[in-house]
């Protein structure tokens, strides 16, 4: 007697363990228990959700438990996508089930349930699927009607439309449920519940746009991309084009080519809600369906977009970093716009970098990957020299527009926030009917209060930072934990009433500019003025429809915007980001300044820029001001080589935090000791730095320490970190986080 062979599957169970589990599939479920589906499984005494990775051969099912239920009717992922997620789990040393959970849109994940009951209902009901009632006319004999009655008019509209959502009828006729019931009873119309997608674009109308005739450099770049698209092989490009050189136009035409070939396109951007213009340009250019994915969507909207993509109903996906997980098939091209942006790195949970993962996914999908930037990462430029990325260059702005002229104003010993030169330039610009941007890097240099008697600054009791003074709110606020105190109040150290303002925030600049230019229409854009939904758009719109003369803002205004009316850009404190305790501070400063400078003179008239700074001779500032990317790259690369930082080393950081300082300190010390021991044991070439106090030593009431690992090979780094993970015991009092390729060093 032979029993039929049993089916064994590999399942990533939703627990934070970096291993997978085997289960047995009861005969009745075999057909549906395939890779990409979620399952409900027994796990210890609990029942949990898991993700099927595939069937396994050659394993005895004797000791295995049965799965309880297959949860999805269609697979969530293709085998290709599952391979991608396995790669991610192994690279970031993160549990696969957690990777899969991160890759799913919020709202789709089931909580673990005590019993299997309710599970079916929950999936079928699809909590977040939106349904709408539609009405359709039914063919039949013409009934007797009361001409002019509401019901009769409704019937005409339904017949005319052929098919109409109930919401539209209500908008037109007001409350009309009873009439619709009556019409349905008479068999004249039929109601139907249908699944609909929420529309994240709103009702904004879009004007059609056609491809531009390319200038020579654009045409060369496009030619190279297209010939690789035709080969259908993985080819990674770095599109290095100065601001306003027409990179987006190259993306658009390359994507058009991929679509023609029947492939799809994935476009990653730093933050969509900050760059609505880019999405608009895509919608204006393509008739093909576009899906967008970013953090500004509601859970429902995101889930809808995800399903549209999974079902092959979107040809182009545009999204922020999480879009790198989009369930898009047949990807012909992946574009990463502004590849240098730090926001491609996820700051908690699975700390992936979407720019890096775009290359991995491109390799797996055999797609062309285009990383675009006016200020590429040092590591990208280095990769070009190593032959790992193919360089495409757009050295000029389109239509022969000149790069702006830049003047540096040294600010040592100057009391005013807005220099005489900048004030004069602003007056001239407004007199000519043109617009200006005034940029302020607030990080680490905000307005804060200092006691005039004892000299103590007003600091946060929970975090090691000064509180930022907000004049309008009459409060001092911590930008990390939101702790707020009425201000200006008394000095907590000596009870003096002599609290003085120091530093310059956006609010202070706005205040000064209003005094200097009483007739100017000034708007301010920072996290205080943009917390409401759509507020970004409204502020940006005032610049594009030219009802505003001057836009003051933080980093938010430095990026991607294209305001043809802006001919002057003022930078208040060009050196602020240099003071960050981070090996990338020069690179960031150079990028930020170059980007801000690039906002000037993008239209008909040439632009000029005034950079105020306390550090006019620093190479990051000098090279940004001189539009000199090549020299900056040389100098910065030399610094990285000498100091042993990427691209000459591979980094991982371990952070420890907790409310009891001593516990954090001991735990970090203990970890460092065991790391040193393992390093010796395995003979690894790794530098173990720290534990040191994190630059933000206290954050939201927690003390923070960190260890930085610097390795010459990725293998050594992996070996050490995974051994540490395998041997450590979790601590009840200290939270530990691992960050592979850390970007935030604070």
Binding site for ligand ADP (CB under 6 A): 212-215, 218, 241, 243-249, 398-399, 562
Q: Which does 116 bind (CB under 5 to 8 A by kind): ligand ADP, Zn ion, none?
A: none
Of 107 and 457, the one with the shorter C-beta distance to Zn ion is: 457
Per the CB < 8 A criterion, the answer to whether 408 and 629 are in contact is no
Shortest Å distance, C-beta 672 to ligand ADP? 46
Least distance from C-beta 453 to Zn ion, angstroms? 5
Beta carbon nearer to Zn ion, 211 or 455: 455
Name the helix (H) or strand (E) containing 636.
helix 629-643
Residues in the chain: 746
The minimum distance between CB 657 and Zn ion, in angstroms, equals 14
| β-pair type (69-70, 21-25) | unpaired
- Pick one of Zn ion, ligand ADP, none as the site partner of residue 248 (Cβ within 5 to 8 A by kind): ligand ADP
Residue 226 C-beta: closest distance to ligand ADP, Å: 16
Residue 331 CB, shortest distance to ligand ADP, in Å, is 22
Q: Which of ligand ADP, Zn ion, none interacts with 480 (beta carbon under 5 to 8 A by kind)?
A: Zn ion
Q: Which does 212 bind (CB under 5 to 8 A by kind): ligand ADP, Zn ion, none?
A: ligand ADP
565, interface contact from Zn ion, ligand ADP, none, CB < 5-8 Å by kind: none
Query: Mind spelling out the 3-state secondary structure of 383-431?
Result: HHHCCCCEEEEECCCHHHCCCCEEEEEECCCCCCCCCHHHHHHHHHHHH
Closer to ligand ADP by Cβ: residue 219 or 677? 219
* Closer CB to ligand ADP, 99 or 268, in the complex: 268
Q: Which does 215 bind (CB under 5 to 8 A by kind): Zn ion, ligand ADP, none?
A: ligand ADP
Shortest Cβ distance from residue 393 to ligand ADP (Å)? 12
Asked whether 628 and 634 are in contact (CB, 8 A), the reply is: no
Report the nearest approach of ligand ADP to the CB of residue 216 (Å): 10
SS3 651: strand
Measured from the CB atom, the residue of 398 and 481 that comes closer to ligand ADP is 398
Residue 481: name its binding partner from Zn ion, ligand ADP, none (Cβ under 5 to 8 Å by kind). Zn ion
The least distance separating ligand ADP from the CB of residue 564, rounded to whole angstroms, comes to 7
CB of 491 vs ligand ADP, minimal distance in Å: 48
Minimum Å gap between C-beta 601 and ligand ADP is 11
Among Zn ion, ligand ADP, none, what binds residue 493 when CB lies within 5 to 8 Å by partner kind?
Zn ion
Provide, rounded to whole angstroms, the least separation between the CB of residue 18 and Zn ion.
34
Nearest to 336 by CA among 355, 320, 317, 322: 355
Interacting partner of 496 out of ligand ADP, Zn ion, none (Cβ under 5 to 8 A depending on kind):
Zn ion
CB nearer to Zn ion: pick between 477 and 593: 477
- From the list ligand ADP, Zn ion, none, which binds 573 (C-beta under 5 to 8 Å, kind-based)? none
Per DSSP bridges, beta strands 405-410 and 608-613 are: parallel
56 binds, among ligand ADP, Zn ion, none (CB under 5 to 8 A by kind): none
Nearer CB in complex with Zn ion: 588/704: 704
3-state secondary structure of 633: helix
For ligand ADP, the closer of residues 136 and 280 by Cβ is 280
Residue 8, classed as helix, strand or coil, is strand
467-472 own/partner pairs: CB under 8 Å, 24+ apart: 468/505, 469/501, 469/505, 470/505, 470/507, 470/528, 471/447, 471/507, 471/508, 471/511, 472/507
**Binding at 478: pick from ligand ADP, Zn ion, none (beta carbon under 5-8 Å per type):** Zn ion
For residues 722 and 743, the answer to whether their CB atoms sit within 8 Å is no
Bridge partners of 553, per DSSP, are 439, 525
**494 binds, options Zn ion, ligand ADP, none, Cβ within 5 to 8 A by partner type:** Zn ion
For residue 210, the minimal CB distance to ligand ADP (Å) is: 11
DSSP 366: T
Element holding 704 (H helix, E strand): strand 702-711
Query: What single DSSP character describes residue 520?
Result: S
* Closer residue to ligand ADP in complex, CB, 245/671: 245
C-alpha 227/C-alpha 4 separation (Å) is 52
> Exposure string (b/e) for 221-255, b if CB count within 10 Å is 16 or more?
bbebbbebbeeeebbbbbbbbbbbbbbbbbbbbbb
**Residue 725 structure tokens:** 């993970």
Q: Are 177 and 146 in contact (CB under 8 A)?
A: no
Q: How far is the CB of 211 from ligand ADP (least distance, A)?
A: 9
Nearer of residues 156 and 399 to ligand ADP, judged by Cβ:
399
CB 487 within 8 A of CB 451: no
Which chain residues interact with Zn ion by CB under 5 A? 451, 453-454, 456, 460, 462-463, 478, 480-481, 483, 491, 493-494, 496
Q: Indicate the SS3 state at residue 342.
A: helix
Q: Cβ closer to Zn ion: 463 or 694? A: 463
Cβ-based nearer residue to ligand ADP, 29 or 221 = 221
Strand, helix or coil for residue 289? coil
Nearer to Zn ion among residue 451 and residue 593 (C-beta): 451
End-to-end CA distance of the chain: 67
Classified as helix, coil or strand, 653 is strand
CA 383 vs CA 207, 376, 557, 642: distances in Å: 39, 11, 29, 18
Q: Which does 398 bind (CB under 5 to 8 A by kind): ligand ADP, Zn ion, none?
A: ligand ADP
Give the residue with the Cβ less far from Zn ion, 41 or 467.
467
- The minimum distance between CB 495 and Zn ion, in angstroms, equals 7
Q: Residue 463 binds which entry of Zn ion, ligand ADP, none, with Cβ cut-offs from 5 to 8 Å by kind?
A: Zn ion
Number of Cβ atoms within 10 Å of the Cβ of 58: 5
Rounded to the nearest angstrom, the gap between the alpha carbon of residue 497 and the centroid of all alpha carbons in its chain is 43
Q: Which is nearer to Zn ion, 451 or 707 (CB)?
A: 451
Query: Which residues, listed in sequence order, are joined to residue 317 by a DSSP beta bridge?
Result: 266, 291
- Token pair 């009840």 is found at 732
Residue 488: asked if its preceding bond is cis (omega within 30°), the reply is yes
Question: At its nearest, how many Å lie between Zn ion and the CB of residue 348?
Answer: 17
β-pairing verdict for 499-502 and 368-373: unpaired
Smallest Cα–Cα separation from 689: which of 667, 711, 713? Answer: 711
Phi, psi of 647 (to 5 degrees): -85, 15
């Amino acid at each position: 007697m032979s029993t039929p062979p049993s089916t064994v599957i590999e399942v990533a169970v939703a627990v934070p363990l970096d291993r997978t589990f085997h289960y047995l599939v009861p005969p009745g479920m075999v057909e549906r228990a395939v890779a990409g589906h979620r399952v409900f499984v027994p796990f210890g005494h609990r029942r949990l959700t898991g993700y099927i990775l595939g069937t396994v051969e050659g394993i005895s099912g004797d000791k295995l438990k049965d799965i309880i239920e297959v949860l999805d009717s269609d697979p969530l992922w293709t085998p290709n996508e599952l391979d991608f997620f396995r790669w991610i789990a192994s690279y970031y040393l993160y549990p696969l089930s957690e990777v899969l959970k991160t890759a799913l849109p919020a709202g789709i994940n089931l909580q673990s349930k005590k019993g299997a009951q309710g599970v079916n209902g929950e999936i079928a009901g699809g909590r977040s699927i939106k349904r709408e009632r539609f009405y359709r006319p039914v063919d039949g004999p013409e009934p007797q009607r009361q001409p002019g009655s509401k019901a009769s008019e409704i019937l005409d509209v339904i017949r005319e439309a052929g098919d109409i959502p109930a919401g539209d009828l209500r908008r037109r006729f007001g409350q009309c449920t009873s009439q619709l019931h009556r019409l349905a009873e008479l068999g004249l119309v039929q109601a139907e519940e249908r699944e609909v997608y929420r529309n994240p674009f709103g009702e904004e109308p879009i004007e059609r746009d056609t491809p531009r005739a390319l200038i020579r450099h654009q045409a060369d770049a496009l030619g190279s991309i297209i010939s690789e698209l035709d080969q259908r092989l993985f080819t990674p490009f770095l599109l290095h084009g100065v601001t306003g050189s027409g990179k987006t136009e190259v993306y658009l035409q390359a994507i058009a080519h991929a679509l023609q070939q029947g492939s799809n396109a994935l476009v990653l951007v730093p933050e969509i809600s900050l760059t609505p213009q880019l999405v608009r340009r895509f919608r204006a250019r393509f008739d093909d369906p576009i899906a967008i994915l970013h953090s500004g969507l509601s859970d429902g909207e995101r889930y809808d977009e995800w399903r549209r993509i999974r079902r092959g109903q979107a040809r182009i996906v545009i999204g922020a970093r999480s879009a790198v997980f989009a369930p898009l098939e047949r990807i012909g091209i992946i574009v990463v716009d502004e590849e240098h942006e730090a926001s491609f790195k996820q700051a908690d949970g699975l700390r992936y970098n979407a720019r890096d993962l775009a290359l991995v996914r491109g390799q797996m999908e055999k797609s062309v990957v285009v990383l675009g930037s006016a200020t590429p990462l040092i590591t990208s430029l280095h990769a070009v020299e190593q032959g790992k990325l193919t360089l495409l260059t757009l050295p000029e702005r389109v239509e022969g527009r000149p790069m702006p002229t830049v003047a540096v104003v040294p600010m040592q010993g100057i009391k005013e926030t807005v220099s005489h030169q900048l004030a004069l330039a602003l007056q001239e610009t407004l007199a000519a009917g043109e617009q200006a941007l005034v940029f302020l890097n607030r990080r680490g240099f905000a307005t804060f209060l200092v006691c005039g008697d004892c000299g103590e600054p007003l600091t946060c009791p929970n975090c090691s930072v000064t509180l930022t003074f907000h004049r309008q709110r009459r409060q001092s606020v911590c930008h990390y934990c939101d702790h707020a105190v009425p201000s200006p109040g008394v000095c907590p150290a000596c009870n003096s009433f002599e609290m003085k303002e120091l530093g310059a925030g956006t609010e202070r600049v706005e205040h000064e500019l209003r005094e200097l230019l009483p007739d100017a229409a000034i708007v301010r854009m920072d996290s205080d003025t943009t917390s409401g939904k759509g507020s970004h758009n409204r502020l940006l719109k005032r610049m594009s429809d030219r009802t505003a003369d001057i836009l003051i803002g933080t980093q938010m205004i430095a990026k991607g915007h294209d305001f043809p009316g802006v001919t002057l850009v003022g930078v208040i404190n060009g050196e602020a980001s240099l003071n960050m305790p981070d090996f990338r501070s020069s690179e960031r400063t150079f990028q930020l300044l170059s980007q801000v400078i690039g906002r000037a003179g993008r239209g008909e008239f040439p632009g000029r820029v005034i950079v105020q700074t306390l550090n006019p001779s620093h190479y990051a500032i000098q090279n940004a001001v001189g539009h000199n990317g090549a020299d900056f790259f040389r100098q910065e690369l030399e610094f990285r080589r000498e100091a042993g930082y990427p691209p000459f080393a591979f980094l991982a950081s371990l952070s420890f935090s907790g409310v009891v300082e001593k516990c954090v300190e001991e735990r970090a010390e203990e970890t460092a000791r065991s790391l040193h021991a393992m390093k010796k044991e395995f003979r690894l070439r790794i530098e173990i730095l720290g534990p040191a106090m994190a630059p933000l030593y206290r954050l939201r009431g927690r003390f923070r320490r960190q260890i930085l690992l610097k390795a010459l090979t990725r293998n050594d780094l992996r070996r050490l970190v995974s051994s540490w993970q395998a041997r450590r015991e979790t601590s009840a009092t200290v939270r530990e986080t691992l960050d592979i390729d850390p970007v935030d060093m604070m």
